[in-house]
């Protein structure tokens, strides 16, 4: 730090212990919220799958578009929440989001093959769209995860190079 710099620091205004406690409380609340969102998303996924199968077998005329839109919005909110936590370096339970991709694409494949080889069935109109959107969200999440890892690696590499060169900034 330069000698003439009298710029106030955050800890001049907030006690560092209180700030640490506030951050830990916020991290805990975010983690709890994400856990609830995950399980709510699992229930919503199961409900959507049941509706899609009922539609596939002809026992349900159609699925309201608001159900599919609501599911996609909920999935997007969960992914954004998860990515913000990841970029903020919050430690959370590992959730394997690819399971949603496998569920939707596996269901889509089974319906598609059944419709082709058994005849008399038609893949519900929402099914391909839901599958594409779920895959799109998964790709977004993986890209975000990769960029975040690259950013951390570069930051760590920069600290190591500074330490080795003896440069204190």
27 pLDDT higher than 90: no
Instruction: Give the CB-side neighbour count of residue 57, counting CA atoms within 13 A.
Output: 6
82 burial level (CB within 10 Å; 0-12, 13-18, 19+)? buried
pLDDT digits (tens, 9 = 90+) for 78-103: 998 888 888 878 776 777 778 899 99
Interatomic CA distance for residues 155 and 64, integer angstroms: 47
Whether residue 65 is predicted with pLDDT greater than 60 in this model: the reply is: yes
Question: Would you state the pLDDT for residue 114?
Answer: 97
Sign of CA dihedral 131, 127, 106, 43: positive
What is the average pLDDT across 51-62?
Answer: 95
Sequence-distant contacts of 115-119: CB under 8 A, at least 24 apart: none
Residue from 161, 157, 130, 113 nearest 67 by CA = 130
Tell me, what's the pLDDT at 12?
66
Query: What percentage of the chain carries pLDDT values higher than 90?
Result: 49
Per-residue model confidence (pLDDT) at position 3:
54
Joined tokens for residue 22: 């506030």
Q: Is the pLDDT of residue 107 over 80?
A: yes
């Amino acid at each position: 730090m330069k000698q003439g710099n009298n710029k106030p620091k955050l800890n001049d205004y907030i006690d560092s212990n209180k700030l640490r406690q506030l951050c830990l409380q916020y991290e805990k609340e975010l983690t709890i919220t994400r856990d609830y969102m995950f399980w709510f998303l699992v229930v919503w996924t199961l409900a959507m799958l049941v509706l899609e199968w009922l539609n596939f077998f002809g026992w349900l005329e159609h699925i309201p578009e608001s159900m599919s839109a609501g599911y996609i919005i909920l999935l997007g909110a969960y992914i954004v929440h998860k990515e913000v936590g990841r970029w903020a370096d919050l430690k959370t339970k590992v959730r394997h989001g690819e399971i949603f991709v496998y569920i939707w694409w596996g269901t889509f494949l089974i319906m598609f093959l059944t419709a082709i080889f058994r005849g008399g069935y038609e893949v519900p109109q929402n099914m391909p769209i839901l599958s594409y959107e779920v895959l799109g969200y998964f790709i977004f999440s993986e890209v975000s995860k990769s960029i975040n890892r690259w950013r951390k690696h570069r930051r760590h590499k920069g600290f190591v190079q500074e330490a080795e060169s003896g440069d204190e900034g």
